[in-house]
Chain A
Amino acid sequence: MTILVIAEHDGKVLAPATLNTVAAAAKIGGDINVLVAGQGIGAVAEAAAKIAGVAKVLVADNAAYAHQLPENVAPLVAELGKGYSHILAAATSNGKNILPRVAAQLDVDQISEIVSVVSADTFTRPIYAGNAIATVQSTAPVKVITVRATGFDPVAAEGGSAAVEAVAAVHDAGTSSFVGEELAKSDRPELTAAKIVVSGGRGMQNGDNFKHLYALADKLGAAVGASRAAVDAGFVPNDMQVGQTGKIVAPQLYIAVGISGAIQHLAGMKDSKVIVAINKDEEAPIFQVADYGLVADLFEAVPELEKLV
């Protein structure tokens, strides 16, 4: 068995989710190759070659793959992937965008967001917003899978010395082009990789009040997340949303502030090791999953918490 892992990157830096995906590949067993597709991606390829357990890094460096447009990258992955037993990508917005297109080109069903490997052809994945866990078996000649990063502990980023090989194939469908992007700037840890996450909901009342959470987060070295209610109300940008349709996190500590705990929000954080809820509504569903609950006004509790930690 040989497994192809699609590297997650922004063109400059290899994303940590790649390490979790390689960990899933290691659980399946077999040789692991990593594909880095993009433009001017030498640094990413170098980082990929150092990942523990990776045998070979394939580098497709071409203008057609800049910004990883799925119309161009998917045919490349499908072409290269034919010789592999498994094709894996992280269940990031990029992985979710590209991989189903690859699966359809290979005429196989995809398995999305696996959280564990039962055997080389059997995997588990959450369905119905995490309210059920399905065990799925694939008979596909090439198994196409996205990996939920929080289900797998990352492999070491250093220690490997994989051979790097250039891929010459160029696919340019010409049906799409990149126009621009607006990325949110933040000095705090990345939400999906943070050890501690502090999240705010509708109870924060406005965007300005999130400063209390930022202060607490900075003291804890935490990332800041939000519920859909807080995002929809315009308190914070979309990419901070934790939940079924936002980011899935599983930090050591998740502090939910002014979040009621709807099914869709719980889907994004209920695998956190320790959950703390601060809410003035004693009946809020969030208390049913919280290890430590504090019924209090968040505008008093959060500043006090910031002082004490």
Chain B
Amino acid sequence: MKVLVAVKRVVDYNVKVRVKADNSGVDLANVKMSMNPFCEIAVEEAVRLKEKGVATEIVVVSIGPTTAQEQLRTALALGADRAILVESAEDLTSLAVAKLLKAVVDKEQPQLVILGKQAIDSDNNQTGQMLAALTGYGQGTFASKVEVSGDKVAVTREIDGGAQTVSLSLPAIVTTDLRLNEPRYASLPNIMKAKKKPLEVLTPEALGVSTASTNKTVKVEAPAARSAGIKVKSVAELVEKLKNEAKVI
């Protein structure tokens, strides 16, 4: 079966971002960008499905600026067969991305679509669910285990109280949680080979999708800073402070 994986180019998870002085957003100039960690897990899962003989083709798709080709090449180096970039310089909302992905799903007809559960920049946790709504497919969100058998996929999900398993009819949408797998690294030969794999570039216009949004970011501010604390010398001093100064125990 064909598996479609969506990946996003985001600021590297180790970077401590700074808010711009004019409060228009965070400063991403000259900041290291990477593939969103949850998307790496999604790519890894697709590659494992292929290694098991379940998946026959892996198509990786990203929606974003021209530079997102770097993340697509990374996915190709990890084992994806071909890539699609839907190029848009705009800052798109999750719904706009879900609509664009729906157009790609219509075109490619995958049996399984794997996304990360959330992007570490917007922290929205929406796109997979929205794509599931638009396609009418079942959704297995926050997946820690994915097992395809016949025309069904069993997804074990991380929920607040523990774990839940649901069975979905294929085609279906899965979003990955941290514990689904440990993503591999791309080897140098594979990085070289990935440069030759096909990468198709599309536009929202070509897909006939409007990216208009009902949300507008008015401003972005730095969070309130915590006032500096103190170091205590002993456990006894700590208990005394907690009882008498902070009054929390």
Contact = CB atoms under 8 A, between A and B. Distances in A.
A66 B130 CA distance: 21
Given A69-B166, A138-B215, A196-B248, A308 B178 contact: no
Interface of A: 10, 67, 69-71, 74, 92-94, 96-105, 107-113, 122, 125-140, 173-184, 192, 196, 220, 228, 231-232, 237-239, 244-245, 247, 252-253, 263-264, 270, 273-276, 287, 289-296, 301, 304-305, 308-309
B129 A100 contact: yes
Interface stretch (B63-71, B75-83, B219-227): B219-227
Interface in B95-115: 95, 98
Contacts of A244: 120, 123
Most buried by A among B139, B165, B213: B139
6 contacts: A67-B164, A128-B11, A176-B166, A239-B158, A239-B161, A244-B120
B201 interface: no
B160 A247 contact: yes
A270 B11 CA distance: 21
B7 to A, nearest CB: 17
B62 interface: no
Contacts of A128: 11, 17, 26, 120-121, 123
Interface of B: 11, 13-14, 16-17, 19, 26, 93-95, 98, 117-118, 120-134, 136-139, 141-142, 144, 154, 157-169, 172, 177-179, 213-223, 226, 229-232, 234-236, 238-239, 241-242, 246, 248-249
Contacts of A220: 249
Most buried by B among A94, A97, A113, A184: A97
B223 A130 contact: yes
A301 B235 contact: yes
Contacts of A101: 129-130, 132-133, 139
Say whether chain A's binding surface is mostly helix, strand, loop, or mixed: mixed
Given A253-B248, A287-B231, A133 B133 contact: no
B167 A177 contact: yes
B39 to A, nearest CB: 13
Contacts of A182: 162-164
Contacts of B128: 100
Given A128-B121, A132-B222, A294 B158 contact: no
A238 B144 contact: yes
Contact of A132 (B130, B220, B226): B220
Nearest to A128: B17
A307 to B, nearest CB: 9
A100 B121 CA distance: 18
Given A135-B219, A244-B120, A276 B162 contact: no
Nearest to A306: B235
Contacts of B157: 93
Contacts of B130: 100-101, 103-104, 110
A281 to B, nearest CB: 13
A294 B235 contact: yes
A127 B19 CA distance: 11
B232 A122 contact: no
A293 B230 contact: yes
A70 B129 contact: yes
Given A96-B141, A176-B166, A239-B161, A308 B126 contact: no
Contacts of B216: 136-139
